[in-house]
Chains A and B, each alone.
Chain A
């Protein structure tokens, strides 16, 4: 919870309440628990549930909301 709490600060606004997801990049995998360590554009890291987008690999970009990956984001080259 420690790393992710600042994202849900009621003084600056809660991204989860806003129903807005965040694009994150997978750094490492914990297949046993179905989690991935991810980082967002500003370098903040958090553990993400990956059950809905398996299989995932390090370096892939995911759309993450409320600690759960709900989709995949296209690689940067494809998006630009």
Chain B
């Protein structure tokens, strides 16, 4: 594990925890949101929240792409997957996300040809290897994943692969953050910014948060020391009454992002007027669809999809978890009706989902605490 060990050093972690304790005003309660599901996973996996003082609380944000996909989109995917000529491809966790009647994995068990891929390029390779079939790629993810889909569509076009198409569910991170900041039921003091999204989009899109809402943002790496240092940098800003976007993750994130990736995305995608987010509702200009220039590779045009909005199950409180309003264990069905083996809500599906991350790691610490 070269290159990462130095960011997992327990002694340095304790030093940082001491500095955080010193920087936090004991008379104040801090609520910091980690935007990205990758951070949520690290926080529970390494017990980072146990190192923080009681008055520094981390709340989980909407940055797990699997968690925010609404049921209706899963149903659309399944409808396409059921076509006999279709090989339907998607990433691993997506296969288990519940639709209104079943998941893609269950559709596969009933005979649909659903296959897991690691990269959209793998789906394109499948299309080239199976010229008599229609290969559809179910694209999900924030700006971290969207460039890969865009490049794959460009390759499909350049190589004349006509039996390849894409259902685009890519989402963008800034609009839901703005929606959260405008939400009356949530008071936040600062944000741990999404390091890998920022590799693509840069830091600039987050400048509105300190400018318009007076909250600090620190773009963070994913190792335990990265997250601890980012929390300290946020507390330093608050103590010094500064508000800015700062970059803790300079070893990877350039402030301006990856301009070539942004250009490719601008060519292949355009913003949807609005898109539904699980738990957050419809948010304007928060997702991408294929641009007119790539419309012939759009599976939603190639195949009929139901396009029906499906309400979340009543028992499921993913919405409140995604907004940081409640903790995973405060959901009525957490760990009982809803587990990673049988998920009702999306937050229990991906290990980056707040509920699954807490179920896998955090609940043990809480059991010790209660005992």
Q: Which residues of A contact B (CB under 8 A)?
A: 1, 4-5, 7-10, 12-14, 16-21, 23, 41-42, 46, 49, 51-53, 61, 63, 65-68, 70-74, 76, 78-80
Contacts and interface: CB of A to CB of B under 8 A. Distances in A.
Contact of B120 (A14, A19, A42, A66): A66
A76 B258 CA distance: 21
Nearest to A79: B251
B144 A19 contact: yes
B153 to A, nearest CB: 12
A18 B141 CA distance: 8
B4 A70 contact: no
Given A4-B122, A16-B145, A68-B147, 20 more contacts: A1-B117, A1-B118, A4-B118, A8-B91, A14-B91, A14-B93, A17-B64, A17-B350, A18-B351, A19-B36, A19-B352, A23-B4, A49-B121, A66-B91, A66-B144, A67-B148, A68-B121, A70-B144, A70-B147, A79-B251
Nearest to A41: B1
Nearest to B154: A51
19 contacts: A1-B125, A8-B117, A14-B91, A16-B92, A17-B65, A17-B94, A17-B352, A18-B351, A18-B352, A19-B36, A19-B63, A19-B141, A19-B145, A49-B148, A70-B144, A70-B199, A74-B251, A76-B2, A79-B251
A16 B141 CA distance: 8
A7 B4 contact: no
Given A13-B93, A42-B1, A76-B3, A20 B120 contact: no
Contacts of A53: 258, 260
A63 B6 CA distance: 18
Contact of A20 (B38, B125, B258, B261): B38
Interface string B56-73: 000000011110000000
Contacts of B121: 49, 67-68
B252 A18 contact: no
Interface of B: 1-4, 6, 36-38, 41, 63-66, 91-96, 105, 116-122, 125, 140-142, 144-145, 147-149, 151, 194, 196-197, 199-200, 222, 250-254, 258, 260-261, 264, 350-352
A52 B118 contact: no
A19 B1 CA distance: 21
A78 B3 CA distance: 11
Question: Counting chain B CB atoms within 10 Å of each CB, which of A12, A17, A61, A63 scores highest?
Answer: A17
Contacts of A68: 119, 121, 147-148, 151
Nearest to B253: A71
Contacts of A70: 144, 147-148, 196, 199-200, 258, 261
B261 A17 contact: no
A43 B260 CA distance: 29
B120 A67 contact: yes
A71 to B, nearest CB: 4
Contacts of A61: 3
A19 B145 CA distance: 7
A20 to B, nearest CB: 4
A66 B119 contact: yes
